[in-house]
Every structure is written in C-alpha cells, then in structure tokens.
Structure 1
Amino acid sequence: MVLIRSLILYIVVIFGVRLMGKRQLGELQPSELVITILISNIATLPLEDTSIPLILGILPILTLVCFEALMSWVTLKSLRMRRIISGRPKIVVRDGQIEQATMRDLRLSVDDLMTALRQQQVFDISQVQFAVMETTGTISVYLKAECQPLTPADITLKKTAQNPPVAVIQDGCVMNKSLAMLGKNQAWLEQKLAEHRLTEKQVFLMLSDAEGTCTIIPKKRGDAV
C-alpha cells in the first residue's frame, strides 16, 4: 500500500515540476523555491501517515502547481509584477569598488561575495568591472577589458574599457534607469527605433552600450500590441 502511494505521489510531483519548468535548484526564483519546498513537505504527509487519504496530498500539490503556472504567466506579461515577486538584479561591485550600501540592503557579507567571485575564478576584486546579484541569488561577473581572456578576435582588434550592454527596452517597456546609466535620453531612443521602423511596444528586447551600439529584437506579429 505504501509502495503504491509513493509511486503515485512520485508521478504527481514529477508532473508538477515539469509544469513549472526546467530550472536547476540554484536558478529558482523566490516564488518557485517556496512552491518547491511546500510541495516536498505536502508529499511526505500521506507517506508518513497512511490514514491520510491520498487525494489530500495530491490536490494541494496540483493547486500549488497551477498557482505557480498562473503567477509565471502574470510575471511574463507584467514587468511591475515581475519586479514585485522576483525583485531586480543589484550591482554589488562597480569598477572594482564594492557597493557597500547595496551589500547591506542584500545582507550579503564580504565573505559571501568573495566566495562567489572565487567560484568564477576571480580572486582580485579590482579586476571586476561589474558584479551583479541576480534575482536567483547567483552573482554574475563581468571583468575589465584588460583582464578578460584572450580570444582570436583580440589578435587584430584592440579592446577598450567598456561597460556591458544593458536592456533599454524589455517586452515593450522602456527602462529609464538604463537610459540614464548610458547617458542617453528619450529622443535618442526614438531615433534608434525610427531607424528600424519600430515603436516601443513592438520591441521584445533592446540592448545598448554607452557607444550607442544597439541590438533590437522585435516582437513576433502575434505578440505585438
């Protein structure tokens, strides 16, 4: 009896996890991590106590999975909800200098930061142009130009110190902070869009660097509004 209940719950949990996506544990958003923990706890109850009807374990699991699927759809369509539920990336190192106020806000210790940098083979913080705390809790590192690994293109092209491109438009929404970071304004943005005969709402993703070099990915016809 216990074996059958275990197999049924195993199938239900696997089905639920497949519906939620294929992220690894370290890449889960806060809401996804909470759902995963709740599902694991609920699934153990009918196994520990066989007097609990199996349906009382399956229904909450399916309910949570459906709720997570709904929230994923909402956050996909709404940038504001995505910011509220998942937060936003934070810069913790800028041009080799630690952003101490951001570290305090994130309750991130220097040891935690240095451990994350060492995991990416960075042992000297002065080599870091940008280190960003992602919403998943991982830290992404962008090295200064002179510290980046040599590539075949470097044999003929000299690297210049330059910050990485940032998202100027996401899913039709203008990132005003990104424009300010690049030293650009709305007029510049409208000019770039006009060159591609696009409006803000027709852009799925637009990346730009401080030099004004842009990468624009339009929305597909069915997604544009």
Structure 2
Amino acid sequence: MAEWLTILIRSLIAFTAMFLFAKLIGKRQLSQITFFEYIVGIAIGDMAAIIPDQLQAPLYHGLLPMAVYTALPILLSFIALKSKKARDILEGKARVLIQNGKILEDNLRKERMSTDELLEHLRAKNVFQVADVEFAIMESNGSVNVMLKPEAEPVTPKRLGLKVPTESQPQVVIMDGKIMDEGLATLGFNRRWLKGELDKLGVAVENVYLAQVNAAGELYVDLYDDRIQVPEPKARELTHILLKKARADLELFALATEDEAAKRDYAAMAKRMERVLNETEPYLRH
C-alpha cells in the first residue's frame, strides 16, 4: 500500500476514534469543563495526532492509550456522582468572594484572584458597583455568580405585582424560502393563513430567509434582502386599541341617548368591556 494512502487511512481512523471517545466523555460548554477534563482532552488530541506519523507501530499502540484516557474520566465522574468528598477533590469547591456586601480578601488570595479580576467578573454580570453586591461566589468551573442587594435588583413584573402572560416557544414557519408545515401545525395554522399574512406585508415566500410565529399569532419575517424593511407585528397593540375604542363608544352612547333603558344597557356593556380590557391587557400590551 502506498505510504500516502496509509497515512490517510490512519488519519481517518485517529479522527474517528477521537470523535467517538470525545462523545463518550460527554459534552459540556468549554467554560464548564474541569481542569482535569481539559488536560485529558489535550492528551487524547495529541495521541490522535501521533497515530498517522508512526507508520511502523500498530494502530492499537495509539488507540489503546486513547481508550484508557477516555475511560478514566468516565470512571472518575461516576465516582464523583456517588461521593461528595470525591467530587470536592476532582472538581474543586465553590468559594465565596463577597458575603453580606463585604469582599473576602483571604478567599481572593486562595483563588489567586486580583481585585481587577474580581471587578472584571462583576462587570461580566452587568454589575459595576461592588456596593450593589450582596453575595458573590466562584464556582468550581471558574465562573462567578452574583446576587445583588434587594434595592439594586432590576425591576420585574413580579416585584411590581403585575400579571404577565406565559409565553410559549415561537415556531419557525419559513426557513430558507421553504414553508415548514410542522411549525404551522403546532400553532394551529396552515399555509393559507401564512400566505395571507405574507400578502399583507407584500412579501413572497421565496424571498423570506426566516419567519417565526409566536403564540399570539404574530408573524416575524427576515428577508434575504436586508435593505427591505418589514413592519413589526402590531396585532396585539391594534386589538387593544380597538377594545378601548369600543369601550369609549359605549360610554359615549350611554351619555348621548335620552332613552333610560338604552342608557343602562350601554353603561352595562361599557362596564363589561372594561372588565375585558383589564383581563386582556397583560396579553395585548406584553
């Protein structure tokens, strides 16, 4: 067999083995892997790179160490799942950096973290004043999580006592100019409805790069031609405006008529419309 063909075959085998062993170890984000897993990954990559060069050595001389380096992290991770002590040794412990608004300098030194690095981690969490921090902890993977003081917490609907609707996942209905029937069916729509919505925007299906529909039936469209501006969906806002107009009209009719029975009917309908507005406002103005 030609030498170049042997190198090619061994390279493909080494790449396939590295891919399979990496899948066995498991997938994590780069920021989540432990230092040990990082070292193991480098070692497996180095072994895979050596296999195509050592033409005289049997393949198993390279594959066997790769298998061992794969099996050990799997075994150790299983042990870590069963034992808190083993987990602390293998993955490390979380360490408190700020507690009750006070920086713990001793813990910073233990983590060999400077004040500048601490401030950098806080800025990554959109915190620019240490005075706003109640608690900060460095996790075993090196990330820093922050809990703000109550007065520094951002305002949320819950803190204001506001009711907001739950949102379901938007569905992709057009991708690369092709209609996705599964996304339409999930929301209870069909192609006829979609084409009607596109006609309102003056857009053809083949010109759409991506289109999504949310639970409220609002269509978001992104075109291939970025120079064309597509109006943002306003269905909920328009519905809210129409309901308010209907209530105002009923109140006006109640004031304008001289018929007492009609006046009472209009006033009662206006009150019912007011209740409808109060119940639907969180959904229509969200």
Q: Name the TM-score class by shorter chain.
A: 0.5 to 0.7
Matching residue of 2:35: 30
Matching residue of 1:160: none
Aligned residue type for 1:139: V
User: Are 1:11 and 2:16 an aligned pair?
Assistant: yes
**Pick from 126, 135, 141: which aligns with 2:131?**
126
Rounded to whole Å, the distance in 2 between the matches of 1:64 and 1:149 is 46
Offset at residue 31 of structure 1 (A): 2.3
**Pick from 92, 95, 98: which aligns with 2:97?**
92
Offset at residue 69 of structure 1 (A): 0.8
Matching residue of 2:147: 142
Offset from partner CA, 1:72-128 (integer Å, 9 cap, x none): 111100111111111210001123321100011111111221121111211111111
**Pick from 47, 52, 59: which aligns with 1:42?**
47
* Change over 3 Å in CA distance of 1:52–1:150 after alignment to 2: farther
What is the SS of the residue equivalent to 1:123?
A: coil
User: Are 1:114 and 2:119 an aligned pair?
Assistant: yes
**Which structure features the higher share of helix residues?**
2
Aligned residue type for 2:10: R
Rounded to whole Å, the distance in 1 between the matches of 2:153 and 2:8 is 54
Q: TM-score, normalised by structure 1?
A: 0.65
User: Are 1:104 and 2:109 an aligned pair?
Assistant: yes
Offset at residue 5 of structure 1 (A): 1.7
Q: TM-score, normalised by structure 2?
A: 0.52
Rounded to whole Å, the distance in 2 between the matches of 1:130 and 1:101 is 16
Contact residue 7 and residue 53 of structure 2 kept, 8 A: no
User: Are 1:81 and 2:99 an aligned pair?
Assistant: no
Rounded to whole Å, the distance in 2 between the matches of 1:50 and 1:125 is 59
Rounded to whole Å, the distance in 2 between the matches of 1:131 and 1:48 is 49
Aligned residue type for 2:149: K
* Change over 3 Å in CA distance of 1:138–1:48 after alignment to 2: farther
Offset from partner CA, 1:157-209 (integer Å, 9 cap, x none): 9xxxxxxxxxxxxxxxxxxxxxxxxxxxxxxxxxxxxxxxxxxxxxxxxxxxx
Rounded to whole Å, the distance in 2 between the matches of 1:128 and 1:49 is 56
What is the SS of the residue equivalent to 1:47?
A: coil
Count residues in correspondence.
Answer: 157
Contact residue 95 and residue 126 of structure 1 kept, 8 A: no
Aligned residue type for 1:99: L
What RMSD in Å do the two structures reach over aligned CA positions? Answer: 1.7
Matching residue of 2:160: 155
Unaligned runs of 5+ residues in structure 2 are: 1-5, 163-286
* Change over 3 Å in CA distance of 1:48–1:119 after alignment to 2: farther
Identity in percent: 34
Rounded to whole Å, the distance in 2 between the matches of 1:26 and 1:101 is 25
Runs of at least 4 residues of structure 1 off by over 6 A? none
Offset from partner CA, 1:134-166 (integer Å, 9 cap, x none): 111111111111222221111129xxxxxxxxx
Offset at residue 47 of structure 1 (A): 3.1
What is the SS of the residue equivalent to 1:132?
A: strand
Contact residue 40 and residue 69 of structure 2 kept, 8 A: yes
